[in-house]
Amino acid sequence: MATALKAVTFDFWDTIVKDDSDEAIRAERGLRSKYDERRYLIWEALDRHQETSLDDVVLAFNVADAAFITAWKGYAVTWTLEERIAMILKGMDRSLPDGEFTDLAEAIGRMEGDIPPNLMPGAAEAIAELATRYKLCIVSDTFVTPGTHLRRALENHGLKQYFSGFAYSDEVGHSKPHRSMFDEAARQLGTEFAEMVHIGDRDQNDVKGPHALGMKAVLYTGSRDNDKASTTADAICETHADLPTIVDALAG
């Protein structure tokens, strides 16, 4: 007999929000792009103590980014933002006083919390409806912005209240499809894997990862449909308006 579904877990990027859609908002406000602002903030912090080349900061940041991506994609490991900044400074043979380092990490980390990316169409309505029948949890990788500020992004969109748990890779230490991400979600929700369905846009991370643990999985293609033809998902969702019906059908 099939186990009843009790919980729905969501990827964040390109599932609930459109990645980098905040860049247009930043441009309208006359702000630097996130790429440029992150590097400028480090340059500014270092240049206060000793004349520093912005080009050197950009190079060190890009090298640290490449190392992060290798660990993230190759080994399903996520470094914290503080670890990444420390790597950038070490690469430049520089350091900052503890208080300034903390302030720098906060300034870089809060950007997508202050100006959150746009919601995918219908995401708010689907989440609100699903929350009336299921426990909800975020299971999402982080790239630069830590989970603390991604919670703020959800709060700014009026959605944080619907979630009973949050498994962000910088807090868990691993990224999807590592099972510890889904272990943490199950722990926070108090559910078994067989009682959970995951929604996400990438087959390897959001379908094969959950399937390996006995979860159900829905591939969301409203933002990217690269994996649509080859996915092993239990269902494909092209628009959030259909998501509650899809989840209810999987729940039987």
- Over the stretch 115-133, which tens digit does the pLDDT of each residue have? 999 999 999 999 999 999 9
For 119-173, write each residue's pLDDT tens digit.
999 999 999 999 999 999 999 999 999 999 999 999 999 999 999 999 999 999 9
**Are 233 and 184 found together in one domain?**
yes
Residue closest to 148 by CA, chosen among 136, 162, 160, 157? 160
Provide the token pair at 194.
Answer: 């067989």
CATH number of the domain residue 208 falls in: 3.40.50.1000
**Are 45 and 164 found together in one domain?**
no
**Are 61 and 145 found together in one domain?**
no
**Are 78 and 179 found together in one domain?**
no
**Are 213 and 123 found together in one domain?**
yes
**Domain stops at, among 114, 146, 165:** 114
For 168-221, write each residue's pLDDT tens digit.
999 999 999 999 999 999 999 999 999 999 999 999 999 999 999 999 999 999
Q: Is residue 1 part of a domain?
A: no
Q: If DSSP codes are grouped into helix, strand and coil, which group holds residue 212?
A: helix
* pLDDT reported for residue 2: 59
**Are 142 and 246 found together in one domain?**
yes
Mean pLDDT across the stretch 239-250?
98
**Are 163 and 174 found together in one domain?**
yes
**Are 67 and 106 found together in one domain?**
yes
Provide the token pair at 98.
Answer: 């503890």
Q: Is residue 2 part of a domain?
A: no
Q: Would you say residue 249 has pLDDT above 60?
A: yes
- Which of left, alpha, beta for 224 (phi over 0: left; psi -120 to 50: alpha)? beta
**Are 230 and 148 found together in one domain?**
yes
**2 secondary structure, DSSP code:** P
**Are 202 and 92 found together in one domain?**
no
For 33-53, write each residue's pLDDT tens digit.
999 999 999 999 999 999 999
**Domain stops at, among 114, 148, 174:** 114
Spatial neighbors of 203 by CB under 8 A, at least 6 apart, are 219, 227, 230, 231, 232, 233
Supply the range of the domain harboring residue 77.
22-114
**Domain stops at, among 65, 89, 114:** 114
Domains held by the chain: number: 2
Q: What is the pTM of this model?
A: 0.94
Strands 135-140 and 165-168, bridge-based pairing: parallel
Q: State the CB neighbour count (10 A cutoff) for residue 209.
A: 24
Q: How far apart are CA 150 and CA 115, in angstroms?
A: 11
